[in-house]
Amino acid sequence: MMKKEEMTDVIIMAKTDKKTTWEALGKATKLDPICIAAACLGSASLLEDEADALVTALNLGEEVKAALMRYPTKGIGQVVPSDPLIYRFYEIAYVYGLSAKEVIHEMFGDGIMSAIDYTMKINKVEDPKGDRVQVVMEGKFLPYKKW
């Protein structure tokens, strides 16, 4: 049985060899590029038809398909990563997390934004002072229930 880490290595090599993009793989699987990248990097799973489309697009085998369909384990043993781009998302949460929480609670009440019923879009915004990254996150509000 192929481990998720091995699967990721095989997929990244095939993606590089084919000179393809997450955008193209998203179109091939009918999934958002961020969603397909998450599955390929091992933090999400695919349905059989989605895994079929991906392995076909990258000319990979059944072992990769099976690994793509297995449920991942998320966040075990993680610490704040040192990769500068990923670290910035942590920094945003550290600096603005409590502020965002206050505003969300004020607007919606006591609850959370779902990361299950969730989408993220990344856009490039051209600016004469330097291009900007636009990250749009949208999640269903889930109120805490009382019992």
88 is catalytic: yes
Selected catalytic residue, list 5, 48, 62, 88: 88
Contact partners, residue 34, CB within 8 Å, separation at least 6:
22, 120, 121, 122
Burial class (CB in 10 A: 0-12, 13-18, 19+), 68: buried
Selected catalytic residue, list 5, 91, 102, 138: 91
91 is catalytic: yes
- pLDDT tens digits, 64-108: 999 999 998 776 666 888 899 999 998 898 888 888 998 999 999
- pLDDT tens digits, 1-53: 999 999 999 999 999 999 999 999 999 999 999 899 999 999 899 999 999 99
Residue 53: give the domain boundaries: 4-69
| pLDDT at position 79 | 80
Selected catalytic residue, list 48, 62, 102, 114: 114
| pLDDT at position 140 | 96
Identify whether residues 54 and 16 lie together within a single domain: yes
| pLDDT at position 76 | 65
Identify whether residues 12 and 58 lie together within a single domain: yes
70 is catalytic: no
Identify whether residues 8 and 57 lie together within a single domain: yes
- pLDDT tens digits, 114-123: 999 999 999 9
Q: How many angstroms from the chain centroid is the CA of residue 101?
A: 22
* Domain count within the chain: 2
CATH number at residue 112: 3.30.1160.10
